[in-house]
Structure 1
Amino acid sequence: MRRIIIILLSQLVTILLFSQGSTIATLDIRGLKKTKISFIKNVINTHSGGVLDSLQLDEDIIRLKRLPLVSHATYQVIAHKGNSYNVIIDIEENFTLIPTVNIWTATNRQFAYKLGLYDFNLLGKGIAFGGFYQNNGYDTYSINLRAPYLFNNQWGIAINHQNWKSEEPLYFNNGSANYLYNNRSFEVLGLFELNFNHKFQFGVNIFTEKYKYITGLTADDIPTNFEVDKELFKFIYDLDFLDYHYQYVNGFRSLLYVQYVTTENVYQDDFFIAWNDFFYYKRIGEKGNWANRLRLGLSTNNESPFAPFSVDNNLNIRGVGNLIDRGTGVIVLNTEYRHTLIQKGWFAMQTNVFLDAGTWRNPGGDFSDFANAQNIRMYPGLGLRFMHTKIFNAIFRIDYGYGITENASRGIVFGIGQYF
């Protein structure tokens, strides 16, 4: 009780001080090793000589904790002279030079691997740069640059190039066929942060798709080999009210993706696709976290094996299998409870209990498809998380999903980072 009274009194004193037109005499940023102080000062809105605003300081701390380079951040306010104060921001940096190593068995039963390296704090300025090489029987590579605060604390840019190859199943009415799919793309996006909660991305992706028939069913109206050039116009709106405390997350976030693809070929028309991911996280006690993601999406409803929404282990339903179906509409709910079992220094281990459930609209179908039992999939399961709390996204996850709907499968899913 005494502790609660002291906290309330300190908060009351802080509010009274901040309401008197107090100013910031000095701003001291501590704890930085790789990151440039100039970059941190560019990101936040609190500055020396400015007005002392507790709400602005709270927002700046949350903004810093959203950066990949920051593990945790706090601030102190110390009396200086008269009505001025010294502000100290303490930052715990993440290690941000992250290698990627994945090993698995590909669809063609060949041994597959992926090697990559990314720096999420290039030059100490919060720039993410890196790439990967993948071999799953075919050579794939990607190079990515993302600088969200390149010009100021509102404007940035992202540039991506990828040459992707993989065996892709295409689904027809009476069966499926495997194609070698090759996508060569170049993308440029503008990044704009309107304010603390509202961010936008917009730009264009110019790409070439190649399909080469390998095995399986074919049809008279679907070619065995073809190549087509396309342009994709992209818009993303990020409404973010999340707050982070190491591996714990609290709050709400909405991510809206809108894309329009233009093409000139007899097998595919121009099409529109949009989906929204709604996230809700709730901290439960000291060690618990309830996490939720709801995805709602629709696209142009062409009766085509190239439908954009897929049913896949690594995207939406854990345990269902790799790319087992496609659709032109999607409703997916992922919900899980995460509980920290061990927390010692930099290491933490979590367990989770989850339920992944979803349904799809068939290509050329109607909205009643969402209620069709053959399209509904429900997979409860259990998982483990092994974390390094001082390295960005250093979370190794293992999940086991068990299907309880018609013709369901089961399986283990490995990955890096939380599932959502």
Structure 2
Amino acid sequence: MKKIVGVLILAMIVITSGYAQEKTISKIEIEGLKRTKESFLRRLIKVKEGSVYDSLKIATDVERLNRLAGIAKATSTIVKKSKTDYTLKYSIVENFTIIPGLRISQANNDEDVAFRVSAFEFNLLGRNQIIGGFYSRDVFDSYGIFWEAPFLFNNKFGFGINYQDNVTFEPIFINDNQEEGTDYRFQNKTFQTFLSYEFNFHNRAELGFLIGDQEYEIEDNQINPGLPNQLDATNFSITSEYEYNDLDIDYQYVSGFRNQANFQYIFNSGGDGFLEDAFVGTNDLEYFIRVGEKGNLANRLRLSYTSNENSPFAPFALDNQINIRGVGNTVDRGTASVVINTEYRHTLYEKDWFVIQSNTFIDAGTWRTPGNDFDQLVEGDAIRFNPGLGIRFIHKRIFNAVIRLDYGFGTGNNSDSGFVFGIGQFF
């Protein structure tokens, strides 16, 4: 009996001694900051001073910091002060985050030049807030202003608000006739606000509402007996977004998986039966793989659906700035779509902050046009397949500073080829 008691006492001493020898983070240092507030980063990271050393939590915090727009690269080191006392150091390389933007393309009327200029600050007040706006002209003038603070209230709750007045030249197609669209001046004024919540490192959600006014006005000499000359509607929408993010970002290289789902239910007042109450949903599934030291394989699957399946004023456009590079500007519309984008990015040259990447891609998609069944998605006439080549010029220390130029080769009957220019990776 005495031996058993002795063994138990010895075991308790060993266990207690083991706990006493646990590594403790007594101090956290953050170096390299210029614009980003240290207090903001300390609120964001999960490892706190006085906590037990946990390599997984530290690695997760490094990933969290690397996802911030204001940070180009974050690393961590552990400095041993004693057997149980450690200092955790985060080294930060900041991004330049005041980003102007310019996009030039052919206008939707195939005659004029369209352009979009913008300016955004992605690290407002050093707290990763976004503020900015744009002005564009695509036959008509449009503008928008935005403010978003993902961590406004604490390290989980955020808030966003925006106003847009978009006036565009929109072709509307009926009877699957992609050659003879009826042209409208489309004005869409929207005010949106939302709350965001981060459940954990991988999962976040948004919930909000949108109030809008829509007006379609047919262009001169475009009378079509199957379409209205003018259409007006006021709408109220409940908007939501859910994102699962498990991406690891290392400058121009990305690896991992992300899924982003957007759902909206629109209550329409007016619209003369063409713009009815509708559910609209889009889901983007992205998967990135590092290939060797200089390669990156990027994949995206986009699924889209609206319940207003008979209206020719369908929400999903076939457009080379959105889904299939090279097809042209708004060449078709659909009430459901499946789009797959796959591209291989390879670093050709890298020195200090400057990178040149080549890009080889395949864009493929299929659309269900208004009034048709889901069977149309697998019919040959509805499928678009465009392979292509491109190049990227990248500044590693300016957020989203990627100048993109691609050329998509059309395949099959009635296919189009063309250049697509933009800022930022295509996805």
Measured against the shorter chain, the TM-score band is over 0.9
Q: Aligned partners of 1:63 and 1:197: how far apart in 2? A: 9
Instruction: Map 1:9-28 onto structure 2 (within 5 A).
Output: 21-28=22-29
Letter in 1 for 2:310: E
Kindly provide the CA deviation profile for residues 46-86 of structure 1, in whole angstroms up to 9, marking residues without a partner as x.
12112221100111110111111110110001112341200
Instruction: Map 1:3-402 onto structure 2 (within 5 A).
Output: 21-108=22-109, 109-173=111-175, 174=177, 175-215=180-220, 217-220=222-225, 222-265=227-270, 266-267=272-273, 268-402=275-409
Percent of counterpart pairs with the same letter?
Answer: 43
Q: 1:20 to 1:322 in 2, by over 3 A?
A: farther
Q: How far is the alpha carbon of 1:20 from its aligned partner? A: 5.4
Q: Which has the larger radius of gyration?
A: 2
Report if the CA contact (8 A) 2:182-2:224 is conserved.
no
Q: How far is the alpha carbon of 1:228 from its aligned partner? A: 1.2
Report if the CA contact (8 A) 1:287-1:340 is conserved.
yes
Kindly provide the CA deviation profile for residues 237-278 of structure 1, in whole angstroms up to 9, marking residues without a partner as x.
100111001000000111111111110222321011112111
Q: Aligned partners of 1:199 and 1:272: how far apart in 2? A: 22
Letter in 2 for 1:412: F
Q: 1:20 to 1:270 in 2, by over 3 A?
A: farther
Q: How far is the alpha carbon of 1:102 from its aligned partner? A: 2.6
Letter in 1 for 2:211: I
Kindly provide the CA deviation profile for residues 139-197 of structure 1, in whole angstroms up to 9, marking residues without a partner as x.
21110001000111100011011111110111112532111111111100111000000
Kindly provide the CA deviation profile for residues 95-128 of structure 1, in whole angstroms up to 9, marking residues without a partner as x.
0011112333322323333222111011111111
Kindly provide the CA deviation profile for residues 396-415 of structure 1, in whole angstroms up to 9, marking residues without a partner as x.
00000001122211000000
Which deviates the most, 170-179 or 319-328?
Answer: 170-179
Report if the CA contact (8 A) 1:331-1:360 is conserved.
yes
Instruction: Map 1:396-411 onto structure 2 (within 5 A).
Output: 396-411=403-418
Q: Aligned partners of 2:391 and 2:101: how far apart in 1? A: 19
Kindly provide the CA deviation profile for residues 301-346 of structure 1, in whole angstroms up to 9, marking residues without a partner as x.
4211111111110111000111110111111110011100000111
Q: How far is the alpha carbon of 1:137 from its aligned partner? A: 3.6
Structure 2: state its 5+ residue gaps: 1-17
SS at match of 2:57: helix
The alignment's TM-score, normalised by the length of structure 2, stands at 0.92
**Aligned position for 2:14:** none
SS at match of 1:196: coil
Report if the CA contact (8 A) 1:281-1:290 is conserved.
yes
Q: Aligned partners of 2:211 and 2:155: how far apart in 1? A: 28
Q: Aligned partners of 1:159 and 1:341: how far apart in 2? A: 40
**Aligned position for 2:11:** none
Q: How far is the alpha carbon of 1:223 from its aligned partner? A: 1.9
Structure 1: state its 5+ residue gaps: 1-16
The alignment's TM-score, normalised by the length of structure 1, stands at 0.93
Q: Aligned partners of 1:378 and 1:122: how far apart in 2? A: 41
Query: Larger relative contact order (C-alpha < 8 A, sep ≥ 6)?
Result: 2
SS at match of 2:173: strand
Q: How far is the alpha carbon of 1:355 from its aligned partner? A: 0.4
Q: Aligned partners of 1:20 and 1:354: how far apart in 2? A: 54
Letter in 2 for 1:344: K
Report if the CA contact (8 A) 1:117-1:131 is conserved.
yes
Report if the CA contact (8 A) 1:381-1:402 is conserved.
yes
Letter in 2 for 1:118: F
Letter in 2 for 1:229: T
Which deviates the most, 388-397 or 97-106?
Answer: 97-106
Which deviates the most, 363-372 or 89-98?
Answer: 363-372
Report if the CA contact (8 A) 1:18-1:52 is conserved.
no
Letter in 2 for 1:168: E
Report if the CA contact (8 A) 1:136-1:166 is conserved.
yes
Q: How far is the alpha carbon of 1:215 from its aligned partner? A: 4.4
Q: How far is the alpha carbon of 1:221 from its aligned partner? A: 5.1
